[in-house]
Structures are given as C-alpha cells and as structure tokens.
Amino acid sequence: MLGRSVRLSIRNMDALFTALLLPIMLMLLFVYLFGGAIQTGTEYVTYVVPGVIVLCAGFGSSLTAVAVTQDMNGGIMDRFRSMDISAGAVLGGHVVASIARNLLSTVLVLAVGFLIGFRPEAGALDFLAAFGVLFLYVLAFSWVAAAVGVLTRSAEAANGFTFFVMFLPYPSSAFVPVETMPTWIHGFAENQPMTPIIESMRALLLGTPMGNSAWLAAAWCAGILVAAVATATFLFRRRIS
C-alpha cells in the first residue's frame, strides 16, 4: 500500500510540484514582500521559517484527503474488498506517502531559508527533536485528512479541507507574534494546536525559551491522532461493508 501510494504521488505531477514549490513561493512572499513591515525582534526570515514549515506541512498532509477520496470512489475498492487487506493498511499507505512528501518539502524550505539568511542555533539533537514535533503534526493531520477523504464523495469536496488546514496557521504565532493581534483573537490564537507546535519548533531551531509548548504540542498531536485513526478506520469499514 505504501509503494502504491508513493507511485500515485509521483504520477500526479501537478499535485507533487504544488506541494514542493508552494513552500518556496510562500517563503519568498513573506520574507521579501511582508517581512520589511513586520517587527518580531529578530530577522524576519529567522522568525518565519518554522511557521512556513508547519503551514506547508499542513498543506501537504491535506492532499491525502483527495487521494483517499479518489480511491473510495474508484473501482479499486471493489478489488480491495475481495482481498485480505485491512483498513489500516489502505489508509496507512496514504499517510506514510504524505509523510515522505512532507519530508522533502521541509528540506526544500530549510534549503531556501539558508540561502536567504536563515541561521538556526540548533544542534543535532535539537534538529532531531524539531523534526520529531513536525513528524507528529504531519502524522496526526494526515490521518485527519484520511478521515475526511473517506467521508467526502468527491475530490472537489475533499480539496476544501486544504483551505481549512492552510488557514489555521494564520491566526497563530506563525507569521506575527500573538501579542500584536487584536485582543479578541488572543484566546483562539494562544489555545489552538498550531501555536504550541510552531513555538516548539521555533524554540528548538533558534534556541529560544520553550516553556510548556512541547508538552502542549505533543498533547494536541496525540489527541488528534488517536481520534483521527479511530474515526478514519470506522468510516472506512462502514463504507466498504
């Protein structure tokens, strides 16, 4: 199932190029068009890289919804019904392919960031920990996307999930400090999953104080993951039965 999902990703070149080029475009957009007007207390490229990584990882994860929907509405499911294949294997193949795509896009973001001035203070263990946080995030939201893909009846409807995932990092600390936002939005920005995930990665990559961000990020990702796996598996079995 993993090999099949990777081959499908490679064959769908439009989606693959979008997933790989979008991080570069967003990086250049925020740094060179908006960065000069935003004050974060440090070089803006240094501040924004963790947010762009998380934003693009969410976009890459959301593409899983479209791939799963295409499977659910195609003839391949009739073939899978006659074989001894579990729901976890079918959906898990799409999820692991999503992780592979996001690993490549993250490397591209970091490479472009280095070229335009991003200079992390992280050691080897800090980099590994930052990738661990990102891995948990991608894993959790890929399973959410898989559940959405099972539930929706068309690729267009599944693609709407992409908008939601891409919007969520904006009312967080991804691109500006939460303190600079209007007071009425502080509660949401501080208590949604993106803020502790981004702050954890920022602290690990830049050597800034982490506080309780890592524990909150892990708790959010674990809770979302458990709920998403259970929901996706239940919905999958119900649809193919």
d(CA 221, CA 197): 9
113-122 pLDDT tens trace: 888 888 888 8
More confident residue, 127 or 20: 127
- CB 165 within 8 Å of CB 236: no
208-224 pLDDT tens trace: 888 899 999 999 999 99
Identity at 159, one-letter amino acid code? N
- What is the value of pTM for the model shown? 0.87
